[in-house]
């Protein structure tokens, strides 16, 4: 998906992130029930409430699910849009106080992605049944109980921004009114405020969790929610992060991404046995050289002597395994598309963008054409089919409109003219204003959509200071963009999130 302005690589960021789970009758007991006593739906709301039980770590966990739409109105009372959401609330004894239990609002990115990825991939109580290595099973696909769900740590609300999922602009309201950085932040914040009000969760510890462009949204929301509504957050989980779009836009006049993508190239080449030596040491050496001598060389442009160019090319061969002649013809600047195309060109294979460990046959090895992204096409059908079965069958939500897993929401208004969007300053300001706000940043080594070194660079240039820096944690995984696809990285992510949430909660909060 291409976006306007100087952000051509945004097509990488249709992230697959926050996902759903299918509870079958054998795995979760499901029945329609009355609306929650704390819910006050308007005439536009269309809700289905069901109860379920899963066995989590050998113990039953009973929860209530609310699936449906909430209508958002303007100050004059006119309906602007309907937000579709799926909320999970743990059910305990009658003395349990929901207002003291943490609540996490979860969304994916795009722009134009529904929340199905994080929902059915790792966060919700049910998940798509991938193999241990992360590859989907053969169709027909099915959901299984998710032993790595976040539900035991926090109640969950999955949000589909307008234009995605079942969320739609109201009749007579232009969808483009929601298709932009500020418009999106404002509308999602309106939903969060209304949800907290309707379901009496203002006193709950509050978290946001976003993936890919969802991290951009989360950073913007962190400040907007506080300034506009007085909603202070306990924590934010950022998965496969993009806060400053300059680091993802390799193009003429912007050399920075060429250096920051290199450590991911090294990790990927090592994974595919194109480099010899310890993978961790190679990656560390690549980071050091890329952010030092390589970045310096790129800033010299055409003033580099032939001898200097040759020396830089030799180092790039060392860290990528690509032919020196190809590197020199590329003017020492290797785009992610070129790397995906050429690393395994002799084998007539192309790499995935979201996960470069995944390969596809290259039908045109003699050209620069990239015919597909195996890390995208491999997963979309399983998530889409499982969600459509889950929502109507298990959650009893009925509608005939299509669920937009990935929607066209362009042109997207980045509000930057010819510049690059950068919301890192908003996150910094939110952390300055709220001394209790903590942030977890998770990155995968084999991700060519939001490479880990681009995240490090952005965080490292936020000028957080020692006290604020102590409230920001970075974690890394042997994964692609969707960290949770394989069992080992999904388990590690859940453990890291659990530790993070516990550390971000006040002592008086119920587990």
Summarize the confidence of residues 199-219 as an average pLDDT: 97
Model confidence at 233, in pLDDT bands (50, 70, 90)? very high
* Number of continuous H segments (helices) and E segments (strands) in the chain: 15, 15
Summarize the confidence of residues 125-147 as an average pLDDT: 88
Instruction: Give every CB contact of residue 49 below 8 A, 6+ residues apart in sequence.
Output: 32, 33, 34, 35, 36, 64, 65, 66
3-state DSSP call for residue 322? coil
Least-confidence region, from 44-48, 64-68, 74-78, 259-263: 44-48
Instruction: Give every CB contact of residue 494 below 8 A, 6+ residues apart in sequence.
Output: 122, 148, 149, 150
**Whole-angstrom distance, CA of residue 163 vs CA of residue 175:** 7
CA Rg value for the chain = 23
Q: Which of 137, 152, 149 is nearest to 90 (CA)?
A: 152
For 423, how many CA atoms within 13 A lie in the half-sphere containing its CB? Answer: 22
Model confidence at 10, in pLDDT bands (50, 70, 90)? very low
Model confidence at 301, in pLDDT bands (50, 70, 90)? very high
Q: What is the pLDDT of residue 58?
A: 93
Instruction: Give every CB contact of residue 276 below 8 A, 6+ residues apart in sequence.
Output: none
pLDDT at 204 over 50: yes
Least-confidence region, from 5-9, 277-281, 425-429: 5-9
3-state DSSP call for residue 392? helix
Q: What is the pLDDT of residue 509?
A: 58
CA angle 172, 196, 167 (to 5 degrees): 30
- How do residues 462-476 score in pLDDT, each as one tens digit? 989 888 999 999 999
Q: Which of 415, 400, 433, 435 is nearest to 506 (CA)?
A: 435
pLDDT at 84 over 60: yes
Model confidence at 419, in pLDDT bands (50, 70, 90)? confident
- Please, is 93 exposed, middle or buried when counting C-beta atoms within 10 Å of its C-beta (0-12, 13-18, 19+)? exposed
Q: What is the pLDDT of residue 26?
A: 32
Q: Which of 63, 69, 35, 38 is nearest to 49 (CA)?
A: 35
pTM of the complete model: 0.90
Residues forming a β-bridge with 46:
69
Domains identified in the chain and CATH numbers: 8-246+381-504 (3.40.50.1820), 251-372 (no CATH)
**Whole-angstrom distance, CA of residue 351 vs CA of residue 370:** 9
**Whole-angstrom distance, CA of residue 203 vs CA of residue 224:** 19
% the chain with pLDDT above 90: 79
pLDDT at 318 over 80: yes
Summarize the confidence of residues 228-241 as an average pLDDT: 98
Q: What is the pLDDT of residue 44?
A: 60
Q: What is the pLDDT of residue 505?
A: 92
Q: What is the pLDDT of residue 95?
A: 57
Model confidence at 9, in pLDDT bands (50, 70, 90)? very low
Q: What is the pLDDT of residue 131?
A: 84
Q: Is 6 in contact with 376 (CB distance < 8 Å)? A: no
Q: Is 10 in contact with 119 (CB distance < 8 Å)? A: no
> Whole-number mean pLDDT of the chain?
89
Q: Which of 352, 325, 331, 394 is nearest to 65 (CA)?
A: 394
**Whole-angstrom distance, CA of residue 19 vs CA of residue 107:** 9
Residues forming a β-bridge with 132:
none
Q: What is the pLDDT of residue 150?
A: 98
pLDDT at 94 over 90: no
Summarize the confidence of residues 189-213 as an average pLDDT: 97
Q: What is the pLDDT of residue 508?
A: 62
Backbone phi and psi for residue 405, each to the nearest 5 degrees, phi listed first: -65, -50
3-state DSSP call for residue 495? helix
Residues forming a β-bridge with 32:
50
For residue 192 the two structure tokens come to 């969060």
% the chain with pLDDT above 70: 90
- How do residues 346-371 score in pLDDT, each as one tens digit? 999 999 999 999 999 999 999 999 88
For residue 236 the two structure tokens come to 């934010």
């Amino acid at each position: 998906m291409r976006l306007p302005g100087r952000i051509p690589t945004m097509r990488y960021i249709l992230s697959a992130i926050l996902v759903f789970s299918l509870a079958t009758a054998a795995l979760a007991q499901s029945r329609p029930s009355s609306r929650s006593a704390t819910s006050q739906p308007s005439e536009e709301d269309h809700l289905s409430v069901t109860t379920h039980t899963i066995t989590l770590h050998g113990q039953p966990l009973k929860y209530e699910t609310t699936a449906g739409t909430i209508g958002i109105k303007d100050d004059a009372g006119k309906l602007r849009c309907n937000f579709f959401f799926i909320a999970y609330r743990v059910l305990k004894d009658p003395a349990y106080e929901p207002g003291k239990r943490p609540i996490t609002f979860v969304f994916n990115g795009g722009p134009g992605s529904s929340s199905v990825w994080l929902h059915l991939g790792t966060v919700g109580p049910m998940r798509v049944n991938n193999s241990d290595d992360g590859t989907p099973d053969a169709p027909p696909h099915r959901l299984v109980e998710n032993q790595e769900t976040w539900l035991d740590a926090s109640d969950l609300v999955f949000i589909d921004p307008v234009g995605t999922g079942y969320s739609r602009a109201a009749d007579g309201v232009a969808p483009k009114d929601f298709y932009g950085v500020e418009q999106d932040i404002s509308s999602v914040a309106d939903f969060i405020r209304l949800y907290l009000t309707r379901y009496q969760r203002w006193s709950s510890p509050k978290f946001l969790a976003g993936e890919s462009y969802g991290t951009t949204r989360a950073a913007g929301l962190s400040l907007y929610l506080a300034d506009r509504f007085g909603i202070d957050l306990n924590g934010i989980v950022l998965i496969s992060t993009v806060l400053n779009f300059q680091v993802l836009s390799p193009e003429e006049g912007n050399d920075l991404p060429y250096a920051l993508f290199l450590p991911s190239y090294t990790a990927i080449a090592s994974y595919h046995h194109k480099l010899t030596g310890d993978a961790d040491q190679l990656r560390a050496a690549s980071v050091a050289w890329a952010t030092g001598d390589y970045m310096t060389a790129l800033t010299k442009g055409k003033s580099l002597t032939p001898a200097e160019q040759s020396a830089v090319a030799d180092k790039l061969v060392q860290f990528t395994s690509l032919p020196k002649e190809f590197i020199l013809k590329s003017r020492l600047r290797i785009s992610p598309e070129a790397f995906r195309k050429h690393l395994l060109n002799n084998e007539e294979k192309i790499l995935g963008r979201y996960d470069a460990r995944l390969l596809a046959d290259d039908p045109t090895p003699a050209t620069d054409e990239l015919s597909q992204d195996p890390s995208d096409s491999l997963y979309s059908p399983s998530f889409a089919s499982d969600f459509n079965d889950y929502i109507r069958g298990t959650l009893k939500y009925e509608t005939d409109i299509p669920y937009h897993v990935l929607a066209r929401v362009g042109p997207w208004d980045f509000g930057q003219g010819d510049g690059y969007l950068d919301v890192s300053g908003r996150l910094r300001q939110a952390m300055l204003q709220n001394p209790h706000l903590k942030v977890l940043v998770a990155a995968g080594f084999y991700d060519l959509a939001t490479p880990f070194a681009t995240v490090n660079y952005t965080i490292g240039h936020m000028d957080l200071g020692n006290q604020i820096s102590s409230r920001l944690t970075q974690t890394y995984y042997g994964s692609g963009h969707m960290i949770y696809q394989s069992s080992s990285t999904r388990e590690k992510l859940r453990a890291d999130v659990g530790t993070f949430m516990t550390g971000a909660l006040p002592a008086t909060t119920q587990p």
